[in-house]
Chain A
Amino acid sequence: MMRGLLVCLAVLANPAAADALTRLDPAGSQVEFTYTQMGVSLQGRFRGLTGQASFDPARPQAARARIEVPVAGIDTGLAEADAEAAGKDWFDAATHPVARFEADAVKSLGGNRYQVDGRLTLKGRTRKVSAPFTFTADARGGLFTGQFVLRRGDFAIGEGAWRDYSLVGNEVGVRFKLRLDR
């Protein structure tokens, strides 16, 4: 009886449902990207994700997310390119230190598949993005994995002499892995 009352209070105190996952685990989260350089496919990644998110598989439409990615810590897959990527022509980390994704709507695609529609802000430019993702529940919480394709030109990533898409392709594949714990 007493325990039941406490659960009730907890649910009332937390506007998200009691089952919602809300704690972002930075160690278990990362954003990978795939790009082409003169026909060569290369992979890089961002780590150190922060932000707030809430997801309850029973009520996906109530999900919220605001994820921030520090761009200075970019790993391009090429040691020489990392410093360049943080510079003015690319991510301009000094002026725009974080990339941000804000979810506007999440809907179920059936099974453990969902789709998120939201806004991605990179280098001060905001564009709408949609990404299908898969949610895998486990004992601690769950893992979200999904992907979408963006055009670096839409965000002025790689300006000046780097604008040439025959050198570094315009299309960049983005694969995200996000861990939320209870």
Chain B
Amino acid sequence: MEITVSQEQARVPVTVVALSGNLDSASAPAVQKRVEELIAGGAPDILLDLRAVPYMSSAGLRALTQIYNHLRGGEDLHAVSAGVSAGTYHSPHLKLLGPRPRVMDTLRMSGFDMFLDIHAHLKDALAAF
């Protein structure tokens, strides 16, 4: 798994983490660790670029859960739940870019697409922060 980090300027500075390779139990811990280091280093808004990730297992979803929780900050949990139920919640500090069809299947099957803001294009993803 290759992890490439870059910065983009949207309404806020966005840290773009581009992954290349399969996201499974062997690779997910390193991805989670790298992103947690970025968050600890002061990156409050993260775009995970999944365009070069052909496959993701539940280990990838566990890493996403941990990253989401680190970034969630002071969000009101009741408001989050209400927003998810209404289909209006878009994870404000963690967004996903360009998951391939099989990765999208995994996100949908687990219901993660209801929580995580997912975009097909970089421009749209950055504008959503």
Judge: A and B partners, yes or no: no
Please give the residue numbers on chain B whose beta carbons come within 8 Å of chain A beta carbons, in ascending order: none
